[in-house]
Amino acid sequence: MRIAVPVNQGKLSAHFGHCDHFALIDVDTREKTILGQESATPPPHEPGVLPAWLADLGVELVLAGGMGGRAQQALNARNVQVLVGVPELDPETVVRAWLQGELPSGLNSCDH
C-alpha cells in the first residue's frame, strides 16, 4: 500500500494543498512495516490537480491535517482513502502510528 503525507519543514502539513512536498511511503499492512519512502514535489495547487496526481502515483491513503471537502471527494472518487485531523508529526511517525492502529486524529483543520 502507498500512503501520501503532505509535508512542510519535515512535519505533516496542516493544509493538504499548501505543502512543500509529499512523503510517499510504501507499507506492508500485514507485517505493519515501512518498505520504502520517497519525496515528490506536487504540481501547482489548483482544484482537482493534486487528487489526480496522487492517484496516478498509486496512492491509496492520504493522511492529512486538513483538507477541503472537494479534494476529499475527488480523492475518494479515485479510490483514495482520506484521514484528516492527523497531528503535525514527522511522516514516518504518522505512518507507523497508523499501521499500529494508534494514530490520533481530530478535527479537520481546513474550513473550505
In the chain, domain spans: 2-99
Pairwise CA distance, residues 22 & 112, whole Å = 21
| pTM attached to this predicted model | 0.92
Q: Which pLDDT belongs to residue 112?
A: 47
For domain 2-99, give the fold. Answer: Nucleotidyltransferase; domain 5 (3.30.420)
State pLDDT tens for residues 64-73.
998 988 999 9
**What is the chain's percent helix, strand, coil content, to nearest 5?**
25, 30, 45
